[in-house]
Amino acid sequence: MTGGDEPPGDVFGHHDFTRFWVAETVSGFGSYVTTMALQVLVVLSLHGSAGDVGLLNAARWTPYLLLGLVVGSLVERRRRRPVLVVTDLARAVLLLSIPVLWMVDDLSLPTLLVVMVVFGTMSLLNDAASQSFLPRLVPGPSLLAANARLDQSSSVAQTSGPVVAGGLVTAIGAPAAVLVDAVSYLVSALATASIRTPEPTPVPDGTPRHLRREIGEGLRWIYRHRMLAPVVLSTHGWFLCNSIVTTVFVPFALLRLGLSPFELGVAFAAAGVGGLLGSSVSTRVGMRWGAGGTVIACRAVMPLAWAVIVIAPVQNHGHASVLALVLAGGGQFLIGLAMGVENANEMAYQQAITPDELQGRMNTTRRSLNRAMIVIGAPLGGLLADAVGYRPVMVVAIVGFTLVAGGLAASPFRHARHGDSQGLVGLQERLGGG
């Protein structure tokens, strides 16, 4: 597919993709409920600080830092559908334990952190299998459209999930609200189990498999690739900045702006509206501007969006002003818009130029190091906010977003276009001869 080609037809013609889409959509909705509910739980129910919110975020992503490179290689040795089903069921059980522990008055921050570490391990396995499974369900030219469809449903979940979470937290409390996500993972497991696309069982070819060598091949593929390396490194920086500022945002909104949990949900929902709009036009924008130009432009929007939030006025007599809610929601809308346009283009480009035998390692290596940035940035942002205040830390993140966008714009990735074939050329050379 060249930059001037029309995008492929509707991917819902692939029935197994539809089942996969249902699984991702339902679990995504539940995840947006839980993401907000857990942060509110730490701040209001467990009376935690911004540093505690940072520890919560770090706990969920620590397995990516510790195990990510290994998991990418191990998943490639297994059929991916069973991994998806088992990890969905495990995550449902883990989330169910949170309201149960709360009911017996045994839920504390350390206990919650342990639950989230195990939950993160299951998510790591699921992510590695999920992103490597998609290219088996749709042909290569349809990957951009498939990722756009997934982003659209994710944006709808992002729009409705926080509002539902705010209402549930207000009505039944944050711990009980987590039950919604537990149910969503059960539905996701059933939908995934119904997929019938045959998967080849990995069969040893007689050549000894060395885990360290396989990890090295994945690293070399990403960080020696002329196009992949700049965008992946830039994304690492983006995740560091984003983890800092998103950790600070929830306590900033609740304690400084004076937003209620429901108003916070409305602000987060604005990001979903922006994401839905962005993902709806992501295919057309990507075909017109190219993958590189689209991703760079979206990253340039991020510092502007957070600047809108930073200037929101603090609460007056214990209540948020209308202007504070408008600015918080407006900034979140811009964030969602940028991410909605960017994600499908970035993911489709990376999946399209990576061979099937490297999909698991490419996806997991990239995601693992991205999440490693969260493990570093989330507690750092929280501790700095407790020490020097919310706004100064958010300004530092805004500067970081600006540098990330500028660095990517100066790299060869600015010329990346959908349909590039260079990713498949010289595979053995790029892997150092295997």
The single-letter code of the amino acid at 11 is V
In whole angstroms, what is the distance from residue 394 CA to residue 55 CA? 18
- Of the CA atoms within 13 Å of residue 156, those in its CB half-sphere come to 12
**pLDDT bucket at 301, cuts 50 / 70 / 90:** very high
Per residue in 305-354, pLDDT tens? 999 999 999 877 666 788 999 999 999 999 999 998 998 888 888 888 88
| 56 neighbors 43 (Cβ within 8 angstroms) | no
Per residue in 114-149, pLDDT tens? 999 999 999 888 887 887 777 778 776 777 778 778
Per residue in 278-288, pLDDT tens? 888 988 998 89
**pLDDT bucket at 202, cuts 50 / 70 / 90:** low
**pLDDT bucket at 411, cuts 50 / 70 / 90:** very high
Tell me the longest C-alpha to C-alpha distance in the chain: 73
In whole angstroms, what is the distance from residue 127 CA to residue 130 CA? 5
| 349 neighbors 420 (Cβ within 8 angstroms) | yes
CA 49 to chain centre: 24
Q: What are residue 316's DSSP bridge partners?
A: 319
Mean pLDDT of the chain, nearest integer: 83
**DSSP assignment of 342-359:** HHHHHHHHHHHTS-HHHH
The single-letter code of the amino acid at 205 is D
Centre a 10 Å sphere on the Cβ of residue 103 and count the other Cβ atoms it contains: 11
Confidence check: pLDDT of 36 > 90: no
In whole angstroms, what is the distance from residue 246 CA to residue 239 CA? 10
The model's pTM is: 0.71
Which residue is associated with the tokens 């907000």? 36
Coil vs helix vs strand at 319: strand
Per residue in 226-235, pLDDT tens? 888 999 999 9
Per residue in 60-75, pLDDT tens? 888 888 887 777 667 6
Angstrom CA distances, 150 to 28, 159, 233, 348, stand at 10, 14, 24, 12
The domain limits of the chain are 12-197+211-430
Tell me what pLDDT residue 7 has: 44
| 54 neighbors 381 (Cβ within 8 angstroms) | yes
Confidence check: pLDDT of 293 > 60: yes
Q: Does domain 12-197+211-430 have CATH number 1.20.1250.20?
A: yes
Handedness of CA 344, 347, 351, 352 (dihedral sign): positive
Per residue in 358-370, pLDDT tens? 776 777 778 778 8
Confidence check: pLDDT of 24 > 70: yes
In whole angstroms, what is the distance from residue 120 CA to residue 292 CA? 31
Least confidently predicted of 36-40, 248-252, 313-317, 422-426:
422-426
Higher-confidence position of 84 and 163: 84
